[in-house]
């Protein structure tokens, strides 16, 4: 089996020969960027691109604590990045939030925002955004949601 050879052929291009004995073609490193490296395998009439991911999840902006009156809506958000694109889930008091069980909770399409409609006292708790991909996991700081009782002047009058 021939030895592998690596050589710089131009700025931003790296040639690797004989990486595996059954590959008789050259690999080229193109468009090197901070977030990923792309290798192109040149075959007759076919070009295959394979990306190597190098960016674990990162949460740049955490949700803030929220106080809301019963019946109002409240939203939490987190700014997540990573390569490959991280999956996102939300937890409340350490347990995954499930929007199918609680129809008042919804997520944005990218799951970077959680919204509680018609908030109730049972929605009180510590919420956290969790992002994960094949390179790691990141969790936001806790965002406390405090749902306050709605003021009822009728009850105050008779007390």
Give phi and psi for 62, each to the nearest 5: -90, 160
Question: DSSP character for 22?
Answer: T
Q: Give residue limits of the domains in the chain.
A: 5-53, 56-148
Q: How many CA atoms lie within 13 A of 9 on its CB side?
A: 12
Sign of CA pseudo-dihedral 60, 34, 137, 88: positive
In this structure, what token pair is assigned to residue 85? Answer: 């694109």
Q: CATH fold of 56-148, please?
A: Immunoglobulin-like (2.60.40)
pTM exceeds 0.75, yes or no: no
Q: Within a 10 A sphere around the Cβ of 107, how many other Cβ atoms?
A: 15
Would you state the structure tokens that stand for residue 127, as one six-digit string? Answer: 């919420």
**Residue 85 host element (H or E):** none
pLDDT in tens, the chain (159 residues): 444 444 444 444 445 454 444 344 444 444 444 333 444 444 444 444 555 678 999 998 767 899 999 999 999 999 999 999 999 999 999 999 999 999 999 999 999 999 999 999 999 999 999 999 999 999 999 999 999 998 766 655 555
Query: How many CA atoms, within 13 angstroms, populate the side-chain half-sphere of residue 68?
Result: 24
């Amino acid at each position: 089996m021939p030895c592998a050879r690596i050589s710089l052929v131009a700025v931003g291009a790296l040639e690797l020969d004989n990486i595996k004995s059954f590959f008789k073609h050259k690999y080229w490193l193109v468009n090197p960027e901070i977030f990923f490296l792309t290798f192109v395998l040149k075959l007759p009439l076919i070009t295959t691109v394979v990306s190597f991911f190098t960016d674990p999840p990162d949460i740049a902006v955490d949700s803030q604590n929220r106080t809301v009156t019963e019946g109002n809506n409240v939203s939490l958000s987190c700014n997540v990045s990573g390569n490959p694109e991280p999956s996102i889930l939300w937890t409340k008091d350490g347990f995954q939030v499930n929007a199918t069980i609680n129809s008042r909770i919804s997520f944005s399409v990218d799951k970077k925002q959680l919204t509680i409609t018609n908030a109730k006292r049972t929605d009180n708790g510590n919420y956290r955004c969790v992002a994960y991909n094949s390179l790691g996991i990141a969790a936001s700081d806790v965002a406390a949601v405090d749902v306050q009782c709605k003021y009822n002047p009728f009850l105050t009058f008779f007390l």
